[in-house]
Amino acid sequence: MTKEQDTLFNIVLYAPDIPGNTGSIGRTCIAIGARLVLIKPYGFELTEKAVRRAGLDYWKHVEIAEYENWEDFIKGESPANDELYFYTKTSDQVYFNQEYKKNCYLIFGAETRGLPQHIFETYPERLYGVPMFSEHVRSLNLSNVATAVAYEALRTLKY
């Protein structure tokens, strides 16, 4: 599956830090027919040897696009602004109140740093969050959030 084929949407990880989260999100992509887009730098190796060692036997089935940086991503994918959905814990707009578009990009920042500041400055109206109601939780696990958002996008696009 490539962008030109029948991908419902893309899950984008911007500088992911934790390989297990990336692996889990890759599994979600396979399950729902989404494409995984990775923007460097990574906090881990993504070599064939590293993937094999991690036991990700399904990894060969993940449709992956990789980019060296944000500018390469924008140049390579050419998304319209209304195809970009950014997720952060600081947004008051909730993810389930959106009309997702086919071939859109669900974009998540690094587990330890979140999205870079230039995203907040360039796309302030495109920032969405997942509600949290306890002051005892600093953040949610990236793979859990990506899966929740992906299934909401799937629901709005297919069901």
Q: What is the pLDDT of residue 6?
A: 67
Higher pLDDT, 73 or 135: 73
Q: Is the pLDDT of residue 4 over 60?
A: no
Q: Are 149 and 87 in contact (CB under 8 A)?
A: yes
9-158 adopts what CATH topology?
A: Alpha/beta knot (3.40.1280)
CA distances from 113 to 19, 116, 117, 121, 142 (A): 15, 8, 10, 16, 12
Confidence of residue 153 (pLDDT cuts 50, 70, 90): very high
* pLDDT for the residue 3: 43
Distances (CA, A) of 129 to 68, 106, 108, 110, 143: 26, 12, 11, 15, 14
Measure the CA–CA gap between 23 and 55, rounded to whole angstroms. 10
Question: Helix, strand or coil for residue 120?
Answer: helix
Say which residue, 103 or 46, is predicted with more confidence.
Answer: 103
How many angstroms separate the CA atoms of 157 and 126, rounded? Answer: 18
Indicate whether 49 pLDDT > 90: no
The predicted model scores a pTM of: 0.92
